[in-house]
Structure 1
Amino acid sequence: MPSDLYLLAGRYRLIERLGQGGAGTVWRAIDEMLDRQVAVKQVRVPEGLGPRERAEFADRAMHEARSAGRLRDPAIVLVHDVVLEGDQPWIIMDLTTGRSLDKVIKERGPLPPEFVAAVGLRVLSALEVAHAHGLLHQDVKPANILLESDGTAMLTDFGIAAPMGGRGDVFGSAGSPGYMAPERLNEQPSGPSADLWSLGASLYTAVEGRAPFERALPAAVAAAVLLHEPPFPARAGRELGGLLMAMLAKDPAARPTASQIRQVLTRLAGAGPASAPARPRRWWLLPAALAAVLALGAGGWYAAATLGGQDTGRYATAPDPCTLLTDAQAAQLVKGTPKRSLTRPGECQWLIREGTLPARSLVVRVWAERPTGDLDGPQVAQRRFASEKSTRAAAEGMGQRQAYGSVRDVTGVGETAIAQNGFKFYINSTESGTADSILLFRTSNLLGEVVWHREDVSAVVAPGDEAADAMADPQTALAAARLVAAALAK
């Protein structure tokens, strides 16, 4: 083996570049410790970031890759290791022999509907495992779906996966415009339905041989996703075509749930085109009925479930978070005169600057969960809260320059609540960094989060000790959360 090939972390010898995309570059490598081939992804670091932003990006990429490494499913390409060299994150994964779905489509053209349904079932299984662990994939597309020689499919590239309820992709939109759900293109909060939208777009491409929003320019693709409906996928047949159109609805609430998608794909994948028996068409897949469902407004699937008698919970929609604290209350909490702003739908920030630089901020986020076909609104919120709790508990400890404290139960805020502290050292510093005190709570079908963030906090312990809890100010976050919960109870 040539000795001049790059050796990553003293262990992974890069052999050849396998591919490159917006999220990074993938290399074939040899794990010299275990003498086996692996795939190594060099995560793309956005241009134009300052030292602090590059460190934040690297820390977040490492944390999310570790979270992805806990996922286990036959349809998931396993993540084995994460490495940080300088401020460049690398992700080590299984090296698969499968060919990407996009290459198969280019060579063979449109694929049979029953085969596409079987591929969809495998990818859906992978996504359900990720969602159960509180993670969104964020880049489901044909290039990230691998087909093995036996025809089974695997989902790869969990490197840009993000936690549900997080702040989103603050360093630039990861993913491909033609396969990003409208809410992600609009930089709005996204959930599992965004991944399911991307799955629908991928299956549409496979069965039709072209993308649903195919245009000559990327900007035109994004505009089509936001403003136009795709042509009905004629090659898919009525049932699969109707399902794909429902999955590509602009409104997340109008899309079918994972369990509803699974029911249809299972039926379609189980019979060949020649021997398929006549099947009763479900009302929600018929064009006229689908239009009626969409006409229910914030409705769609949610409204249909509500009409079926499910408990939506106390909150039909989440209230404006900027109304949950008065300016006087916020000023007392942050010890100054903050600037209030709705930073994104469902999120309000009260910010104090010192000179031109942010010094401290109080962020309030709220979102209402809606019924699915199986669970009512409060049950969905309970499941989401439990997922958030387990995901955050798994982050406890010191990783690179960031530390998370333990997750603690909190009483007196909503029906149930947890708190966690975080501390992040500035790049190349063991003396100062940023501190966060975070409180997440649930009441009925609504979840809320309060984040008390401070810059330039002096470290009072060395990295690796109880850094997160030692530098925290949990009382401010707790006081703010109690005021928010009281406002919601009115």
Structure 2
Amino acid sequence: MPLAGTLVEGRYRLVRPLGHGASSVVYFAVGSDGLPYAVKLFPPHLAARAEREYFNASGLSHPRIGQVFQQVEVQGRPALILSFARGRVLFERYARRPALTFERKPFLLTIVHLLDALAFIHAHGIVHRDVKPENLIVDGDGSAKLVDFDLSGPADETFGTPLRIGTMAFQSPEAARGEPLSAESDLYGAGVLLYWGLHGELPDPEAGPRASDDPLEPLCAQLIHPDRRQRLASAVEARRMLLKLASLPY
């Protein structure tokens, strides 16, 4: 059923779909305050998932993350009111590859902003658990926001049975094994994106890491180390190393 034009909570007017995920559709909306918003709608049988995302993310407010404002219902469907992130998903934004060859400074800013977002949510005891290009919205200058917290949860959360959480190509080895996840698991995803920026392709675990003369290679290797005990576990430290290795003043 088309939802464009629907008024939500007497305040948010749905305008057009922004994108579809495996479990939701996101609409662009305009609030009665004149500001842009995003409205994320779930099918009725995933009401618990919407509630979980609201519970885990509604208290998080930072310039580098997509904020969750309110839990609502739209024509019988559970929904969330979100801040609107301007830009395109990472892979669309950086069409020329490797991104660090063609747009080095904007791509480095994107990774810095990702690490800022991860440092903030990790400090609040939350792990994102799905760091991937579709969940990074990047503006023209490289400014980025981390969005989509529907897989997020407390660090080291356990479940009744092992759950393989995340998207396979960006999933840490421990996530693929269904182990509880912590900060280093999110940083693995950041490392995969940095590798993509360096080489224009995703790492192949079977082939081993590629080498280059780029000064960021050592940081990339620490972020995607297969042993979580030897991987960087601090987004703050990863950010510091990136700025030092790249000689940037951010």
Scaled to the shorter chain, the TM-score interval is 0.7 to 0.9
Deviation per CA, 1:387-424, whole angstroms, max 9, x where unpaired?
A: xxxxxxxxxxxxxxxxxxxxxxxxxxxxxxxxxxxxxx
- Please tell me whether the aligned partners of residues 4 and 16 of structure 2 are also in contact (alpha carbons under 8 angstroms): no
State the one-letter code of the partner of 2:37: V
Within 5 Å, give how 1:46-57 maps onto structure 2: 54=45
- Superposed CA RMSD: 3.0
- Please tell me whether the aligned partners of residues 138 and 174 of structure 1 are also in contact (alpha carbons under 8 angstroms): yes
Residues in 2 aligned to 1:81 and 1:7: alpha-carbon distance in whole angstroms: 15
TM-score for both structures, normalised by structure 2: 0.83
State the one-letter code of the partner of 1:62: E
By relative contact order (CA 8 Å, sep 6+), the higher-ranking structure is: 2
Corresponding position of 2:157:
166
State the one-letter code of the partner of 2:210: F
Residues in 1 aligned to 2:39 and 2:5: alpha-carbon distance in whole angstroms: 14
How far did 1:260 drift?
A: 3.5
Residues in 2 aligned to 1:81 and 1:242: alpha-carbon distance in whole angstroms: 41
Within 5 Å, give how 1:225-304 maps onto structure 2: 228=206, 230-232=208-210, 234=212, 237-258=213-234, 259-271=236-248
How far did 1:27 drift?
A: 1.3
Corresponding position of 1:109:
97
State the one-letter code of the partner of 2:245: L
Does 2:197 correspond to 1:197?
A: no
- Please tell me whether the aligned partners of residues 137 and 195 of structure 1 are also in contact (alpha carbons under 8 angstroms): yes
Deviation per CA, 1:99-118, whole angstroms, max 9, x where unpaired?
A: 2211023x222112653333
Residues in 1 aligned to 2:53 and 2:92: alpha-carbon distance in whole angstroms: 28
Deviation per CA, 1:151-195, whole angstroms, max 9, x where unpaired?
A: 322212223321223235979755321011111121111111110
- Please tell me whether the aligned partners of residues 135 and 164 of structure 1 are also in contact (alpha carbons under 8 angstroms): yes
Residues in 2 aligned to 1:208 and 1:267: alpha-carbon distance in whole angstroms: 20
How far did 1:129 drift?
A: 0.8
State the one-letter code of the partner of 1:17: P
How far did 1:88 drift?
A: 4.1
State the one-letter code of the partner of 2:147: T
User: Structure 1 83/171 Cα, relative in aligned 2: closer, same or farther at 3 Å?
Assistant: farther
Residues in 2 aligned to 1:74 and 1:239: alpha-carbon distance in whole angstroms: 28
Larger Rg: 1
Give the counterpart of 1:147 among 138, 145, 163: 138
User: Structure 1 243/100 Cα, relative in aligned 2: closer, same or farther at 3 Å?
Assistant: same
Q: Which runs of 5+ in 2 are unaligned?
A: none
The secondary structure found in structure 2 opposite 1:198 is: helix
Within 5 Å, give how 1:325-340 maps onto structure 2: none
Deviation per CA, 1:82-101, whole angstroms, max 9, x where unpaired?
A: 22468843222122222221
Deviation per CA, 1:116-155, whole angstroms, max 9, x where unpaired?
A: 3332221111111101111111111122222223332221
- Please tell me whether the aligned partners of residues 147 and 154 of structure 1 are also in contact (alpha carbons under 8 angstroms): yes
Residues in 1 aligned to 2:113 and 2:30: alpha-carbon distance in whole angstroms: 28
Residues in 2 aligned to 1:90 and 1:21: alpha-carbon distance in whole angstroms: 14
Residues in 2 aligned to 1:174 and 1:8: alpha-carbon distance in whole angstroms: 31
The secondary structure found in structure 2 opposite 1:146 is: strand
Corresponding position of 1:78:
67
- Please tell me whether the aligned partners of residues 118 and 269 of structure 1 are also in contact (alpha carbons under 8 angstroms): no
Within 5 Å, give how 1:375-394 maps onto structure 2: none
Residues in 1 aligned to 2:3 and 2:66: alpha-carbon distance in whole angstroms: 29
Corresponding position of 1:29:
29
TM-score for both structures, normalised by structure 1: 0.45
Size of the aligned set, in residue pairs, is: 244
User: Structure 1 183/4 Cα, relative in aligned 2: closer, same or farther at 3 Å?
Assistant: closer
Residues in 1 aligned to 2:8 and 2:245: alpha-carbon distance in whole angstroms: 45
State the one-letter code of the partner of 1:99: R
How far did 1:247 drift?
A: 1.2
Give the counterpart of 1:131 among 117, 122, 129: 122
- Please tell me whether the aligned partners of residues 93 and 140 of structure 2 are also in contact (alpha carbons under 8 angstroms): no
Residues in 1 aligned to 2:82 and 2:160: alpha-carbon distance in whole angstroms: 22
Within 5 Å, give how 1:380-419 maps onto structure 2: none
Residues in 2 aligned to 1:4 and 1:255: alpha-carbon distance in whole angstroms: 46
Within 5 Å, give how 1:95-106 maps onto structure 2: 95-105=84-94
Identity rate, percent = 30
The secondary structure found in structure 1 opposite 2:99 is: coil
Does 2:3 correspond to 1:12?
A: no
How far did 1:210 drift?
A: 1.7
- Please tell me whether the aligned partners of residues 65 and 146 of structure 2 are also in contact (alpha carbons under 8 angstroms): yes
Does 2:38 correspond to 1:62?
A: no
